[in-house]
Structures are given as C-alpha cells and as structure tokens.
Amino acid sequence: MAKTIDRLAPVFDTVIAGGRVIDPRNKLDAVCDIAIRKGRIAAVGHTLARGTAKVIDASGLVLTPGLIDTHAHVYEHVSGDFGLNPDIVGVRSGVTTVVDQGGPSALTFDGFRKFIVEKAKSRVLAFISAYLAGGLLGHRYVDLYGPSGINVKAIVKAARDNPDLVRGIKAHAEPGGYSRWGMASMKLAKQASRELKLPVYIHLGTLWPEAKKKPVDAAKIIDEVVPLLDAGDILAHPFTRFPSGFVAEDGSIHPLIKEVIAKGIRIDVGRGAHFSFKNAERVLAAGILPFTLGADLHGYNVRLKDGGRAYRGMFTGEGVDSLIAEDRASPFERPYSLHHAMTELVALGVPLVEVVRMATENAATMLGLEMEMGALSVGMPADISALRIVDGNWTLVDSDSETRKTRQLIHPDFAIRAGKLYRADSPLLPNIAAMAA
C-alpha cells in the first residue's frame, strides 16, 4: 500500500518554498510554495510535498509571475549604442520577458530573430517599427521617419512572417515629427495596425527638435491622435516632463485623456529618460493609472562608462535617471532596471499588488498572450520573478533632478525562465551594499 501511495505522490523538479506569492490574475497574495515540473508550473499551495525536488528557499522574498518589460530596446549592435543586451535587461535583471519597442523593422526583422531572439535566455518579443529604418541609433536621423520611410505592405508582410514575435507596431506622435509631417506617419502606422489587427504603440513626449519656423502647439497632437486610435492601442510616456504628453505646461491634464481610457486605449508608463515626478503625481491624482509598466531601457539612459558613444544632445532632457548613488562596480553610469520603475510607482502611492499586476497580468493582456504568461496558473510556462523589498532611507531622482524619498526599494533576486534559474547579476542593477555604506 505504501508503494502505491508513493507512485501517486506528485513529482516535482523544483519547489520554490516560503515566499510571498503575488499573482493578481489568480487573486493570490499569500505565503506559499510554487512547484515546477518539466519547465511548467505544476502546483501552487501551502507546504507542497518536496520529495526529491530541488528546493529554493524564498523566505523573505516576493514571488510573482515572470515580470514583463513592455518597453525595452534590445536590438544589440544593429541599433548601435542604443540597443542593450536582452539578457542584461531581462533574466539577469529578474525580468523574464522583454518587448523591444521599434528596434527591428520590416528590413531587419530576420536579423532580430536570428541574433537576438534565438540567442537570448530571456523571452524576447517586439512591436515592429512602423519605419523601414527601425530604431537605428535610437531614431537619431529624423528625416528617415517621415511617411516616405514607411511601407505598409512591408510591415504587414514582416508581421505575418513572424506572428510568434510581432505583438504590435511602434510609432511616434510628438512635436518634432508633427511639425514636419503632421499625422501622415501616424496614419500609415494605423493602416498597418488595422490590417494586421494588432495594436499600435505610440510615443508621446518630445523626441526630435521641431522643424525651423514650424512651432507646434503640443496639446493639438493628442487632439489629432485620439480619433485615429482603436481599443487596445497604447499611449506611452504619460509621466513625461514634456508638455506634449498628458500634462500641459500649466499642470492641467489634457481633457481627452479620460476619453482615451473610456475608449479602451491603454497607457504604458515607458519610464525612460524624461520621467517627471510632478507630472506622475498629477496624472495619478486625476485617477489615471497606467495599464502597463515599461522601463524604456536603452543605451542612452544607462550610458556605458568605458567605450560608449552616447549621442548627447540628441534627446532633449536626456540624462539623469536613477537612484542618487554611484556604483563603481557597474560598467554603466547610472544603474537602472524595471524594478526601479516599480519602486517609483510604489513611492508615489500605487499599491505593490497593482504595480505587479501592471508588469504581469496586464502586460500579458497587452501582448495578447494571456494563456502563455502573466500568471502562475498550473500548466503555464514556469516564468517566475523573485524580488526583495529592501527597507531603508532611499532617494529617487527624476529627469528634472527632482527628488522623492522612499522607505522601500524593490530589488530583483532571481528569475526563473521556462523552469531554469537565473540570478540577478546584471550590471544595470545598483550595488545595494555599496549604496547603504
């Protein structure tokens, strides 16, 4: 009889034991275990049978579905210094899935698959660039991004040839482009979006300088963008310090934003290099909570200390985006990760559970991959992020050098991608011990 019971007992490869599990989709927030078998979630519950399984002690950690960074730039080498290594942004920073926003184009997507996606340990997806130039040097050469640089047929073909990777289309609606072409580029991006039945992800906030003698009333851009959009489309950078986003120069919220949300258009933080605490506070105070949380990491907001060729002056407001601390062990000037963006939102009063929802359940919904990621449901791929909440007196700084104090720092400990463990050792991460010294 005992042998029969043993044969019926669950057999797990790994059990992650004793962590606080936050899984918003499954309405779970409790201390329990997560079991993995053959690279998939096998069980989630209290004191699971361990048998011969490898046990990872997660006491004191928060365990979530694998974090999804919905705004990354990881077309390494092809996009120049702008593109970071996908695993430095991904699993080595405690993030299991990264979404490249506009790096690969219809002309370069085959290289993205072969040299980035297939080599990365992280799961890498993309919003294909609306422009044939893609994200070369971080969109440095503005003349490549007008309507003459967009081919709708080519976008549609590339997306249909790569349906496993292409989750939408990346476009821009900002003063520099608007002063040159109005809505022409945006309309072509939406044409491809509708033909493919995929969302378009729209950059708000200044990117290029305005054309000479063609000043733009920034508020009018949103006036013209919103009627073009469909439910499921995404507006990025709601907390930008530029008046071309959600917040006008006088501090008021653009009157169409509530209409945007009612229409089913989603909002991604896209933290990036022009984040403003004041504007974030204004947007949140208006009852507007972003749907997803993209970090917008790229080589110009975590510039390499040695050998990097950051194109200073290319972006207005490029620069200081990090904790006030100097980590001499890092090859990057400013340590930063998706967890930093999470820390900022919690410091601004957003509950941790809602921040996790943005980076898991909601991100999976944005990508149309609810059955593959974003939860710890039995049978799903074992993508898990483990993070530590570090108490202390921390100072956060935004792109205007405005500071905010916080008592808690969110810091990654490890990630599990498809059942395999990766320690959080990315050079993008701050050295907590050095900072506390």
Domain ranges within the chain, ordered by starting residue: 2-64+378-391+407-436, 74-367
**Mean pLDDT, rounded, for 39-57:** 95
> What integer pLDDT is reported at residue 288 of this predicted model?
95
Question: 16: which strand partners?
Answer: 34, 56
What digits encode the pLDDT tens for the residues 240-289? 998 878 998 888 998 889 889 999 999 999 998 889 999 999 999 999 99
Which among 155, 167, 156, 118 is positioned nearest to 369, based on CA atoms?
167
Residue 303 clears pLDDT 80, i.e. is over it:
no
The neighbouring-strand residues paired with 422 are: 415
Domain 74-367 is classified in which CATH homologous superfamily?
A: Metal-dependent hydrolases (3.20.20.140)
Q: Is the pLDDT of residue 312 over 80?
A: no
CB atoms within 10 A of CB 409: 24
pTM as predicted:
0.93
* Nearest-angstrom CA–CA distance, 123 and 117: 7
Res. 122: pLDDT tops 70: yes
Residues 6 or more apart whose Cβ sits within 8 Å of residue 250? none
Confidence of residue 148 (pLDDT cuts 50, 70, 90): very high
pLDDT band at residue 430 under the 50/70/90 scheme: confident
Other residues' Cβ atoms within 10 Å of the Cβ of residue 30: 12
Residues near 171 by Cβ (< 8 Å), separated by ≥ 6? Answer: 102, 130, 185, 186, 189, 190, 200, 201, 202, 203
Alpha-carbon gap, residue 126 to 167, rounded angstroms: 6
Distance between CA atoms of 415 and 65, rounded to whole angstroms? 10
User: What's the confidence (pLDDT) of residue 278?
Assistant: 96
Length of the chain: 437
Parallel, antiparallel, or unpaired for β 384-397 and 403-417?
Answer: antiparallel
pLDDT of residue 306: 52
Q: Give the separation between CA 436 and CA 430, rounded to whole angstroms.
A: 11
Which SS3 state, helix, strand or coil, does residue 123 take? strand
Average pLDDT on 32-51 reads 95
Three-state DSSP class for residue 67: coil
Higher pLDDT, 263 or 314: 263
CA distance 334 to 392: 20
Cα separation, 75 vs 340, whole angstroms: 22
Please provide the CATH number assigned to the domain covering 2-64+378-391+407-436. 2.30.40.10
| CA–CA gap between residue 43 and residue 17 (Å, rounded) | 12
- Give me the pLDDT at residue 329, please: 44
* Amino acid sitting at position 294: G
